[in-house]
Structure 1
Amino acid sequence: MCDHMFVVTGGPGSGKSTLIDALHDRGFASMPEAGRAIIRDQVQIGGTALPWADKATFAELMLGWELRSWHEAAAFEKPVLMDRGVPDVVGYLTLCGLRVPIHVEAAAETYRYNRTVFIAPYWEAIFGQDAERRQDQEEAEATGRVMADTYARFGYQLVELPKASVEERVAFVMDHLKAE
């Protein structure tokens, strides 16, 4: 387990990346989200490993990205904020109704983070769609529930982020990190 690695998870459009960017601007190390980068790359090259084309291959690429991020973050000595983590891949496959391969389950058991996981709840006021985030509100809410269930199943303690301004969320996370 890497106690200095803190996952921020939840459904799409719940403010995770905005929060992590704001914390990064205050000097915290961070690792970017896999999904958006994979989608951009796959669209650029005409690939099919996309959530609307080949969900299983998309999940495998996310797993590779999350493992690389885990290893990169493990080298840090200070807190690192992770925009999602390996268990998110399990949650994604579960959400899609796909079988979770043994190696994906093993990765989530092996590559651990701080037991405190921040979860951004679905928040209608800030939810939005774009070229990479095509999920509707119903799927965004379902994703948040699945991620909460998945991380809890792997023994993480979920801390729900408040539905508040970015500055208030930053202060909330910083208070929790100081307590660790």
Structure 2
Amino acid sequence: MLKRFVITGGPGFGKTTIINRLEAMGYNCFHEFSRSLKLEEAKKLGGSISWTKLDERSQDDFSLKVCKRRIEHYLAAPIDELSFYDRGIPDVVAYLKMAKQPISSFYNEIINSHKYETKLFMTPPWQQIFRNDNERIESYDEAVVAHRHLLHTYQELGYTTLDIPCINVEGRIQFIIDEINKQ
């Protein structure tokens, strides 16, 4: 049986740090790649890009690329081993909703045929660790809005969302492992 756990939340709230630490501990981890995809798109457009500032067609194209890559990650999980994902396929839908874009039936079909464990880990807004940079140009307030869209999207899909405590990385990892062991 595949054990796929998503770690998600607004940008800048510590997901990647957690994923990197889990990977260093020997767990199968699938990394976020939207940043590198944004860099590719920014080079084409001649500067930084913000998801919410893309036009509808660009958002659709970007979302499709992200979704396809997340499907590849989903299918690459080793059988009978624990795997962690820095964002899941439903994140695409959450960002489309945030941009007030229509959700095509394609995404619903993909989400229904590519399920993760129902226990979902969320990095809640945490201003003390939030940082933006050349690729992550969202403000803290925009990151909180993204977090809310992610939370609502996963809950609408039937996932049980668990907030990872705002504590040191080791404590956050221990929380995740303890919750998984409760299953």
| TM-score, normalization by structure 2 | 0.90
User: Counterpart in 1 of 2:14?
Assistant: 15
Query: In 1, distance between residues paired with 2:120 and 2:178?
Result: 14
1:7-156 correspondence to structure 2 within 5 Å? 7-44=6-43, 46=44, 51=51, 52-53=53-54, 54-73=58-77, 75-156=78-159
* SS of the residue 2:134 aligns to: coil
* Count of aligned pairs: 176
1:58 offset after TM fit, Å? 1.1
Instruction: Specify the code of the residue in structure 2 equivalent to 1:60.
Output: L
Query: Kindly tell me: are residues 107 and 47 of structure 1, through their superposed partners in 2, closer, same or farther at Cα, counting changes over 3 Å?
Result: farther
Query: In 2, distance between residues paired with 1:101 and 1:76?
Result: 30
1:131 offset after TM fit, Å? 1.3
- Given the alignment, which residue of 168, 171, 181 partners 1:168? 171
Query: In 1, distance between residues paired with 2:45 and 2:17?
Result: 27
* SS of the residue 1:123 aligns to: coil
* SS of the residue 1:59 aligns to: helix
* Runs of 4+ displaced beyond 6 Å: none
* SS of the residue 1:7 aligns to: strand
Percent of paired sites with the same residue: 27
Instruction: Specify the code of the residue in structure 2 equivalent to 1:19.
Output: I
* SS of the residue 1:30 aligns to: strand
1:176 offset after TM fit, Å? 1.5
**Unmatched runs of 5 consecutive residues or more in structure 2:** none
Decide whether the 8 Å contact of 1:87 with 1:108 is kept in 2. Answer: yes
| TM-score, normalization by structure 1 | 0.91
Instruction: Specify the code of the residue in structure 2 equivalent to 1:42.
Output: E
Give me the CA root mean square deviation: 1.6
* SS of the residue 2:76 aligns to: helix
Instruction: Specify the code of the residue in structure 2 equivalent to 1:125.
Output: Q
